[in-house]
Structure 1
């Protein structure tokens, strides 16, 4: 009986503590803020402006109409930090628990050296103060890129050389090195290395986020081995996705076009459709838990390899054709040898004597020959496709620390060029 009484006493004490904690959480005051961010002078609304609570990780961004809505589990006063690349940052003091219709004006920034980026030291520094050169594409540059895919727009950054193996497979090179498989380069998506285990180099955007979920791209063309390992001495690309706490709601896009117009012999005789689509949904609950789901697909008829240029045209000799041809888009004819070398092989001479063909050995000409190859169109699947699914769970332990779990899946068909030919 005494044991049961002690047990019930401890259980009642535990329940009282839990009820007290729940009461404290329920009575904690919250601050709700909503408003619009506009550009000084033009009064145009600004999209993608970052609005953060100073000293915390809690924040949001403005939507397509320049509006924002932020709820903070903290009693006033508090300070909002409003910032956007190309504009002067501003701090707003909030002294009321409910603020609506707040108007915030941002003026253009005239000194580019004060732009704030995430540098190689993983802290906020200005571009002029950063120890390395940084090229960046923000959310507006990604949205306004003239390319059919934002990843291809990386070629427009300073110090970047992009090799396109396929219509959906691009390899980034820097620092004067050009390769179809750059093992000296590192690409991170939210801190995750995206290199293929079998190839040991990044595989472009085949397993990266879609255009709807990319917040910024940061490219460091210099050596970054001190921070990111020995593979990064050729450069590093940081792809930052959108945080579901700051970018909520449903969004989607669909793009379509055609290629293979006026195709050459061996290519499709009619224009082929190419299209890409993506959807994204993100939701946050009480500034503590948030999730996002992304799905995208891409389909196109890849460029055909029909170049019949002979790279070994000097081996023709006196013949009207070249038996040692090595054509660009023909496989199997790369190895060529001079059949005149057979005259000096003792085993062949003995075999020819036994067959009564010894007189023919001396008539073998000095002629380079190669085996008959196979056209690329008989070996390669030109139906390029890419399917990707991405999901992430975010949990805020407190106002300064956040945990996230991300799952990325990508599959599809592409063409990988092992080497390039030069004349």
Structure 2
């Protein structure tokens, strides 16, 4: 963690750069007024004349575009007068151009009949790899686009991560109905944040934990538009936490989803879901608006684990595994259930999971094709359960509002947003019963520009951002000295591409991040892309990325067990016993013995057992080397193949004893050896003829036993957890540190085949292996990738012209070990 006097200077420097960048970015938007007209028409299928909705209608060169409505009709307003070319595009249909002459103040008709063809998957355009549009075949990174039919088929579940489970190299781990962890290329965790998730540039992560709260989305999955998954280190363009990849979600503008839609769904676990959306145009098409809202209710397959004999987890999972299931006891049951105080048996009905969400968007369409937009939304989740490093946590009620404003054009993009999360009712640690409060706010401002040079042989993308994060847990999760805090992060990035030959493109990128919580980070990237023709490309790349510890790892302060009076009682008993010996045995008989009348242990009346953060943690780092191929074989087959070697280091460990220098370890025998003193004293009393049951000898075995129990109780995961707090008192302390180095290797294969315009098949395979440098591993820590060594997916999807969709998926996954926090197996 860094706090220095250069922060004001750094603030002024970045503010100046940001203002200069934003001023330059706005220059392209200044265009002269001109005479305009309107183009309108209807798009149909050539085969049967049926209407086609969602067809992209655009005019190249001037940035005007829209999509057809459910009736196949479209309107383009404020089209410059004169000859224009109208382009119609939609997956599964041959692109069509219509020439028109636009008269000032008049409307010209341009209808189109599209011919169905087998989709050329290589023509798909993506933005996530370079933060600028490019054909997926030419992207300088491993990137996949979730097919629209997959989004539509998964949308009915409300479980967005399921749409990614067929992407090569991606792990989707489910811990509850809506609790998912999405990761790429190994080393997943119970609260994964190695994959940065963006929606229209807005980071969806929770501020305190840095992970995703998938139940808190404000739009249904089928309204999210395009979902891209970039695999591999990505900090060169995206910064912190683009450690293993980036999920880039781009939602449509209002005019791309004109009309109304309602969905009603139901299923197992008494699931009921309803949501609706309406989008329209106003002010002669210059303003677009979209509103949506929804409600989701479901039972949970999570169970209370409160049986006092510790067998709850065993009963829950013994039929699902051949491995031993550990004994575990949680302090409180799930919401809605009651607990028998003696046996821990629960009764009553679990409260259902509930999620209410809504959002709205207002677009203003400028004459030059730019779009100014303001959108916002809010979601409220109830009774969700997170699996965390300190056990399961149930969210009673939490709300997540956001507001975003943006100005987007072909060459520039300026946006800012505010994310917030507030626990309306305390969140509950099921393990300890602790009530947890949280209020967090994220303010983010960013600008980006891109331009071509040397007759489009080269391209430059650059930008800068500022982020402020505020977190307040009211002392329930963080120590008061660091709670209710505000932290800044400043970033600047850029990428230069240059085509040194028609078939060879060089790519270089870098990003600089600096902030209150981290030392300055420089993240470079280099790539060579060889494209022998438009349908095939080969690439070699090297990337560096980092992951910032979250607020919990920096500043956590929570009890891990109830305070105990045992240590102070033992200390007092020994001191009282020594006083009794001195009162009853003449000093000459004790002269050569060591008897510490005032023990230096300094136990408080109650000794706490605490999980404490480490404010001096460093970022985790990864350097990755990758080779890849993308190719389109004709119009039917699309192939991707990627192989990589990553070097990961500086992991943030699980909670461990004796690893944080801020709380130095304390051994009971470091200043005084009580067992040796008691043993020698017992021998002397025996020499004096006192029998074992004598009042001065009888306490010694009890005191030795108590000392042994105390020493054993302070050893956790093989280490000494007894530590000295800053006030000089002793406590059981678990904390975090940086340790570990791992080399991981993997291959990712994907094949897509378009049997017909309506039927598509996809096959993927992922292989993974790793080596741990045991010399750099912290004692007691487990570096486990939490990912299978092999997995494969087979899927078949159908998107019929009459509106019938279907999808069948088969996943084959090798069993593998899991270790994250207190959950291991």
TM-score (norm 2): 0.37
Shift in Å at residue 61 of structure 1?
Answer: 1.6
Q: Give the Cα–Cα distance (whole angstroms) in 2 for the partners of residues 150 and 82 of structure 1.
A: 33
Q: Please give the per-residue CA displacement for 1:238-292, whole angstroms capped at 9, x wherever unaligned.
A: 1221211222222211111232xxxxxxxxxxxxx21111111222222322221
Q: Does 1:288 align with 2:257?
A: no
Q: Does 1:104 align with 2:113?
A: yes
* 1:393-404 equivalence runs, <5 A: 393-404=362-373
Q: Secondary structure at the match of 2:151?
A: helix
User: 2:787: which partner in 1?
Assistant: none
Q: 1:118 to 1:215 in 2, by over 3 A?
A: same
Q: Please give the per-residue CA displacement for 1:22-47, whole angstroms capped at 9, x wherever unaligned.
A: xx99x9442232111426x6766544
Q: 1:119 to 1:185 in 2, by over 3 A?
A: closer
Decide which of 211, 215, 220 is 2:225's aligned counterpart: 215
Q: Does 1:35 align with 2:5?
A: no
Q: Give the Cα–Cα distance (whole angstroms) in 1 for the partners of residues 207 and 232 of structure 2.
A: 24
User: 1:331: which partner in 2?
Assistant: 330
Shift in Å at residue 170 of structure 1?
Answer: 2.0
Q: 1:211 to 1:308 in 2, by over 3 A?
A: closer
Decide which of 311, 314, 319 is 1:309's aligned counterpart: 314
Q: 1:381 to 1:94 in 2, by over 3 A?
A: farther
Q: 1:373 to 1:161 in 2, by over 3 A?
A: farther
User: 2:420: which partner in 1?
Assistant: none
Which runs of 5 or more structure 1 residues have no equivalent in the other structure? 1-23, 260-272, 314-324, 334-371
Q: Does 1:134 align with 2:140?
A: no
Larger fraction in strand: 2
Shift in Å at residue 332 of structure 1?
Answer: 5.3
Q: Give the Cα–Cα distance (whole angstroms) in 2 for the partners of residues 110 and 193 of structure 1.
A: 32
User: 1:407: which partner in 2?
Assistant: 376
Q: State whether residues 189 and 208 of structure 1, in contact with CA within 8 Å, keep that contact through their aligned partners in structure 2.
A: no
Q: Secondary structure at the match of 2:255?
A: coil
Shift in Å at residue 124 of structure 1?
Answer: 2.0
Count of residues paired in the alignment? 334
Shift in Å at residue 166 of structure 1?
Answer: 2.1
Q: Give the Cα–Cα distance (whole angstroms) in 1 for the partners of residues 182 and 54 of structure 2.
A: 27
Shift in Å at residue 415 of structure 1?
Answer: 0.9
Q: 1:141 to 1:52 in 2, by over 3 A?
A: farther
User: 1:348: which partner in 2?
Assistant: none
User: 2:358: which partner in 1?
Assistant: 389
User: 1:11: which partner in 2?
Assistant: none
Q: State whether residues 31 and 76 of structure 1, in contact with CA within 8 Å, keep that contact through their aligned partners in structure 2.
A: no
Which runs of 5 or more structure 2 residues have no equivalent in the other structure? 1-31, 305-311, 319-324, 333-341, 390-819
Q: 1:125 to 1:305 in 2, by over 3 A?
A: same
Decide which of 108, 119, 123 is 1:114's aligned counterpart: 123
Q: 1:288 to 1:55 in 2, by over 3 A?
A: same
Decide which of 265, 270, 275 is 2:272's aligned counterpart: 275
Q: 1:111 to 1:391 in 2, by over 3 A?
A: closer
Q: Please give the per-residue CA displacement for 1:89-115, whole angstroms capped at 9, x wherever unaligned.
A: 333222255444712324425643232
Q: Does 1:248 align with 2:258?
A: yes
Q: Does 1:49 align with 2:55?
A: yes
Q: Give the Cα–Cα distance (whole angstroms) in 1 for the partners of residues 199 and 88 of structure 2.
A: 26
Q: Secondary structure at the match of 1:180?
A: coil
* 1:12-161 equivalence runs, <5 A: 28-38=35-45, 45-95=51-101, 98-100=107-109, 102-109=111-118, 111-145=120-154, 148-149=157-158, 151=160, 152-161=162-171
Shift in Å at residue 131 of structure 1?
Answer: 0.6
Q: 1:205 to 1:51 in 2, by over 3 A?
A: farther
Q: State whether residues 34 and 70 of structure 1, in contact with CA within 8 Å, keep that contact through their aligned partners in structure 2.
A: no
Q: Give the Cα–Cα distance (whole angstroms) in 1 for the partners of residues 344 and 326 of structure 2.
A: 11
Shift in Å at residue 397 of structure 1?
Answer: 3.4
